[in-house]
């Protein structure tokens, strides 16, 4: 909850507590994983009005994350080999390796930008064709070629769904007891909960609740710079 830590202030016996809350269903979090609550000023009342908001600030691009399912995609091996062998750099060994890994990451991202829309388009086309065959089967018998085509398309759809399930399991960062479990909605709920807990909706800066993305990023950078300077060991002085 942003704004204030407590929602109720007892006038007779000065005590503060968090009484006011929202009651929601888990399905709401599946559609709006980044909703949050803000407690505004109570003014003369003893209760702080609370607001449920779903508008979030854009903090920029998300960090790069490699999904294990991409290693099973066609063409991924060629992208890796070409990117690793075509890099040209200079400098010390550590800087050279860092630059090479950065180049390697960018090449994978470029490949993914092209591959992902094609993957979504292919899945959509397969489902449409499968639906057409199912509708046709309601009025006539399917030919042997159509039955074989339906079997192949169904297998491809299952493979696509397995990739989606693997990505969801990796995003949820939990290990399921049964490796064969593919309940994607189960892992999606964990992903939504993680996003809800990890997302920064706002910060109290100089005593005021602030939701501006630029101001929050500057405050976080300032905080870590201070912590880095505090923990940085002092340089030993040479004594002649």
| pLDDT value of position 177 | 47
The burial of 64, by beta-carbon neighbours within 10 Å (0-12 exposed, 13-18 middle, 19 or more buried), is given as exposed
224 domain residue, yes or no: yes
61 domain residue, yes or no: no
CB 48 within 8 A of CB 6: yes
Q: How many CB atoms lie within 10 A of CB 39?
A: 20
- Its domain, for residue 215, covers 201-234
Query: Higher model confidence: residue 36 or residue 195?
Result: 36
Q: Are residues 77 and 17 both part of a single domain?
A: no
* pLDDT tens for each residue of 184-211: 666 666 666 666 666 777 777 887 778 7
Percent of the chain with pLDDT over 90: 0
CB 201 within 8 A of CB 2: yes
Separation CA 227–CA 195 (nearest Å): 26
Q: Are residues 74 and 153 both part of a single domain?
A: yes
63 domain residue, yes or no: no
Separation CA 24–CA 157 (nearest Å): 34
Kindly state the tokens that stand for 61.
Answer: 């691009």
| pLDDT value of position 237 | 47
Q: Are residues 11 and 99 both part of a single domain?
A: no
CA-based nearest residue to 173, from 198, 150, 151 = 198
Res. 76 pLDDT band, cuts 50 70 90: confident
| pLDDT value of position 111 | 86
Q: Are residues 81 and 176 both part of a single domain?
A: yes
| pLDDT value of position 175 | 56
């Amino acid at each position: 909850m942003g704004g204030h830590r407590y929602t109720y202030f007892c006038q007779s016996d000065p005590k503060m507590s968090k009484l006011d809350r929202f009651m929601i269903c888990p399905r709401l979090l599946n559609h709006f994983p980044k909703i949050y609550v803000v407690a505004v000023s109570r003014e003369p009342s003893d209760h702080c009005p609370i607001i449920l908001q779903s508008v979030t600030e854009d903090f920029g691009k998300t960090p790069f994350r490699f999904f294990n399912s991409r290693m099973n995609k066609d063409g991924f091996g060629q992208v890796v080999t070409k990117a690793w062998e075509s890099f040209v750099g200079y400098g010390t060994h550590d800087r050279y390796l860092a630059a090479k890994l950065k180049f390697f990451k960018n090449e994978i991202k470029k490949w993914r930008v092209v591959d992902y829309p094609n993957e979504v388009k292919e899945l959509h086309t397969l489902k449409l064709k499968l639906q057409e065959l199912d509708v046709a089967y309601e009025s006539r018998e399917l030919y042997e070629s159509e039955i074989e085509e339906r079997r192949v398309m169904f297998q491809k759809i299952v493979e696509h769904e397995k990739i989606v399930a693997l990505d969801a399991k990796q995003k949820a960062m939990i290990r399921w007891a049964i490796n064969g479990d593919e309940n994607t909605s189960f892992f999606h709920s964990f992903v939504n909960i993680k996003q809800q807990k990890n997302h920064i909706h706002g910060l109290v800066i100089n005593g005021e609740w602030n939701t501006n993305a630029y101001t929050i990023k500057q405050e976080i950078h300032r905080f870590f710079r201070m912590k880095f300077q505090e923990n940085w060991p002092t340089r030993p002085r040479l004594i002649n």
